[in-house]
Amino acid sequence: MDFCLTEQDGPILTVTMNNPDKLNALIPDSHAQMAAIFRDFEADTTLRIAILTGAGRAFCAGSDISAYVAGTNRPLPPEGGGGLTHYHSRTKPVIAAVNGLAMGGGFEIALACDIIVADERASFALPEPKVGAAAMGGGLVQLARKLPASVAMQLALTSSRIDATRAYALGLVSELAPAGQVLAIAKAMAWQIVAGAPLAVAASRHIVQCTLDGASRDMLDREETALRQRVMASADFTEGMAAFMAKRSPTWTGH
C-alpha cells in the first residue's frame, strides 16, 4: 500500500500519513516511501516547504509492532525513520502538523521536523521501553536538545505522555491549534515562511540548525560570514530592497 498521500499547493507540499485504521502506524515499507518523498521534495525547485500530518485521529502511533513479531520489518533508509530522522543534509523546512497521537517513532518523526504545530488534543510519548526497545531513532537526542533536562529524562525513562498544552508551555510545540484546525494553522505558517526570500530562509534555517547541533562559535562565525555574503550578493536581496522602497510585494527568484 502507499503509506502517504501528497498534495502540492504552489510551493507547499502536504504529506499525509494514511493508515488511519492503525493510527497511521508505520508499516514495513513506509520509511522508504517517505524517504523517497522527502528526497524528491528537496530536489524539486518548485517546492519550498513541506507539512507532515496524519489521516484520522492520530499523527502516527509509531511502528506497527506486528511487523517485528512476524519478522517482516525492513532496515531503515539512510534518511532514517519517516525519511526524516537522519536526513541531516536537508535544507528545506518541514512543519509537523500533529493532529493527534504522536507515539514512539511517530514522535521521533515529529521531533525531526523544524517546527511542531499541535492540535490541542494531541499528545506525545516515547513508550519504547515498555516493549523492550528504546527510542534510538533520534528521539532521545531531540528530547534532550529541545526540552529542559529533567523533563527530557522523565519522558525518556518513564515512557509517560506529555499533552499538547504542556508541550506548548515547554516550547516543544510552537503553535497550539484549536481542535481540528492544526493543518490550517500549519498552512498559514507555511505561507508566512514562503513570503521570505528562499536563500534568506535557507540561510536562517541553516544557522539555527548549526547552533542546535552544537557548532562552535568559530564555526558559526564562518558560516554566518559566508551566508551573509551569499545572501547580500543575491538578486533577491536587490529585489527585496527595491520592493521595500517601492512599497510593493517582492518577486523572488531564489537567486
Q: What is the pLDDT of residues 24-42, one digit of tens each?
A: 999 889 999 999 999 999 9
State the number of CA atoms in the 13 A half-sphere of 244 facing the CB.
8
What local confidence, expressed as pLDDT, does residue 136 receive? 86
Higher pLDDT, 95 or 29: 95
> What amino acid is encoded at 130 in this protein?
K
Q: Are 110 and 141 contacting, i.e. CB atoms less than 8 angstroms apart? A: no
CA–CA dist 34, 224 (Å, integer):
32
Q: Which SS3 state, helix, strand or coil, does residue 127 take?
A: coil
- Residues belonging to the active site: 108, 128
DSSP-derived letter for residue 63 is B
Closest alpha carbon to 41 in 8, 5, 76, 17:
8
Q: Among 85-89, 113-117, 134-138, whose mean pLDDT is lowest?
A: 134-138
pTM: 0.94
